[in-house]
């Protein structure tokens, strides 16, 4: 069962997405490198997170369904608030858009790990060639 607790708030997902974009930029610039074995551990964790989000996707439609709380103005207001919390609206970015951002960021992080491995190999090869020239 997948639940939206703690780390799964819209704000924390947006923060994770921003961090992963930074990781991708660092790898692309060559300032981040990691060994293949180190990258594989991160890639597995990323893929586990992607799998959890896929499970969550199957239930997200429930968040876009208007809650039936009654016909009073307060009930209608609460129902609208619930929907805006899910999809985004006044004063909220919405959990569904945050999940979409996180999906993109997780894929970016996998790309970053692969690029960081390339960076590691380049540094390692350069060091080996430098060592051989002595």
Domain count, the chain: 1
In a domain? residue 69: yes
Comparing 125 with 18, the larger pLDDT belongs to 18
In a domain? residue 90: yes
In a domain? residue 78: yes
Number of residues written out for the chain:
134
In a domain? residue 81: yes
Question: Among candidates 18, 3, 1, which has minimal Cα distance to 98?
Answer: 18
In a domain? residue 1: no
SS3 51: helix
Torsions phi, psi of 58, nearest 5? -65, -20
Q: What is the rounded CA–CA span in Å between residue 90 and residue 88?
A: 7
In the prediction, which pLDDT does 128 show? 65
The string of pLDDT tens digits covering residues 31-70 is 999 999 999 999 999 999 999 999 988 888 888 888 888 8
In the prediction, which pLDDT does 37 show? 93
In a domain? residue 25: yes
Q: What contacts 63, CB < 8 A, 6 or more positions away?
A: 83, 86, 87, 95, 96
In a domain? residue 2: no
In the prediction, which pLDDT does 27 show? 92
The string of pLDDT tens digits covering residues 78-130 is 888 888 888 887 777 888 998 999 999 999 999 999 999 999 998 877 766 66
Domain span at residue 124? 9-128
What's the pTM?
0.75
pLDDT category, 8, cuts 50, 70, 90?
low
pLDDT category, 13, cuts 50, 70, 90?
confident
What's the distance, CA 89 to chain centroid? 21
In a domain? residue 3: no
């Amino acid at each position: 069962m997948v639940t939206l607790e703690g780390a799964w708030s819209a704000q924390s997902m947006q923060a994770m997405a921003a961090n992963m974009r930074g990781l991708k930029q660092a790898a692309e610039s060559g300032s981040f490198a990691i060994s293949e074995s180190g990258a594989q551990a991160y890639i597995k964790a990323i893929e586990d997170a992607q799998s959890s989000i896929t499970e969550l996707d199957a239930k997200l439609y429930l968040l876009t369904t208007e809650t039936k709380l009654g016909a009073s103005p307060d009930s209608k207001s609460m129902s609208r608030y619930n929907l805006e919390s899910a999809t985004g609206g006044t004063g909220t970015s919405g959990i569904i858009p945050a999940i979409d951002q996180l999906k993109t960021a997780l894929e970016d992080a996998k790309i970053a790990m692969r690029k960081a491995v390339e960076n590691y190999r380049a540094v390692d090869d350069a060091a080996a060639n430098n060592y051989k020239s002595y």
